[in-house]
Amino acid sequence: MSEHDQRFASNGRPARPPRGAVRPGNPRRVRYGVKLKSRDGVVARHWVARRWVTLLENTLDAEARTEGMQYARQGQIALFELTPDGLTARVQGRAARPYQVQMNGRTLAESDWQRLIEAMSSEALYSAKMLAGEMPENLGELFDELDIPFLDAARESITSTCTCGAERCKHRAAAGYLLAERLSEDPMIVFRLYGMPETQLLERLRQSRAMHTQGVAAAHVDPLIPETQDEPAPLETCLEDFWRSGPELTRLEQTAPEPHVAHALLRRLGPSPLTGRFPLVGLLASIYDEVSQSAIRMRDQAERLPDGESDEVTK
């Protein structure tokens, strides 16, 4: 068969490739691949995600950005895993096997983490937002003040590699855009790129904040360990009564609930640095109590009214 016959059918139109063959220019489809959720093309809705996209696109050309976005929308990412060691992804292209993409931040030294946590814990605003799972808008400025690289394009605080061998490739772009969408949903995971899980960072921040406000003893509270613990009975001696509720269930139902800690967030943040005629923490505590009591009264009143009138009370 001639080259012309291979490329064109008898009607003069391009011949269809054999079943199962990969069309030139199209990547191999991935079953159940990870894809972008956004339908409007906006993946960076949080300032951390926008800063990440700026850093990412600084290492890509226009073609890689366009094709990488298409890959991410089509679900060409076979694996997407973010660990304390960085981002690992497998992106399926035109080759038979997916390409391996790795993105890492420049792991911060312990001294840098200590300076950062100390600076955040000394400011109530940083502590309140971070402990509530929010990223302060000016956190990037704090990194800059401490001369610690954080999503900094000029200082190359992120390194990325791909097994395709290209310096600027669409596979890294696809994984990077998917990470941007994840950062918009949970910006706290960005700390994993720099070598510390967000849960560990928050725990260290909580301890540091407690040391600032309540002293060392309050920051390191040892859990209570019972002095004695009864060994459970062998399983073979419990077969007849295994599926029956014993007296333990009755005792469990009668157990009093754990005491409620009033104003837990205010206690965690400690004394306010603001001075005035009235303590700010006490004023906020009074407001919280009044709001809670009002809500309880509205709930009780709504429960006493017929169903048709309950909506009017809660408006």
Domain segments of the chain: what residues?
Answer: 24-108+156-185, 110-148+195-216, 275-315
The per-residue pLDDT for 252 is 64
The CB density around residue 111, as the number of other CB atoms within 10 Å, is 8
The predicted pLDDT at position 9 comes to 39
Cβ 87 vs Cβ 67: under 8 Å: no
Q: Where is pLDDT greater, at 266 or 167?
A: 167
Find the mean pLDDT for residues 193-217: 79
What residues contact 191, with CB distance under 8 A and at least 6 apart?
Answer: 197, 198, 201
Angle at 233 between CA 232 and CA 234, to 5 degrees: 120
- In the prediction, which pLDDT does 255 show? 57
In whole angstroms, give the CA distance from residue 299 to residue 265: 24
- By three-state DSSP, how is residue 63 classified? helix
Question: Tens of pLDDT along 158-189?
Answer: 788 999 988 889 999 999 999 999 999 999 98
Q: How far apart are CA 164 and CA 54, in angstroms?
A: 23
pLDDT at res. 261? 63
**Mean pLDDT in the chain?**
77
Q: pLDDT for 190-202, tens place per residue?
A: 888 888 888 899 8
Spell out the residues 6+ positions from residue 302 whose beta carbon is closer than 8 angstroms to its own: 310, 313, 314
**Which residue's entry shows tokens 């407690």?**
210
- 281-293 burial: b if 16+ Cβ within 10 Å, else e: beeeeeeeeeeee
Q: How far apart are alpha carbons 26 and 23 in whole angstroms? A: 6
Are 150 and 140 within 8 A, CB to CB?
Answer: yes
Q: How many CB atoms lie within 10 A of CB 231?
A: 5
Residue type at position 178: L
**What is the pLDDT confidence band of residue 300, given thresholds at 50, 70 and 90?**
confident
Q: What's the pLDDT at 217?
A: 45
pTM over 0.85: no
Per-residue confidence band for 210, with pLDDT thresholds at 50, 70 and 90: confident
pLDDT band at 276 (very low <50, low <70, confident <90, very high): low
- Per-residue pLDDT band for 150 (boundaries 50, 70, 90) equals confident
Q: Is 239 helix (H, G, I), strand (E, B) or coil?
A: coil
Q: How confident is the model at residue 256 (pLDDT cuts 50, 70, 90)?
A: low
Rg (C-alpha) for the chain, rounded Å, is 29
79 phi and psi, to 5 degrees?
-145, 135
Backbone angles phi, psi at 25, to 5 degrees: 90, -15
- CA atoms of 197 and 85, how far apart (whole Å): 9
257 compared with 168, residue with greater pLDDT: 168
* Angle in degrees, CA 140, 150, 176, rounded to 5: 110
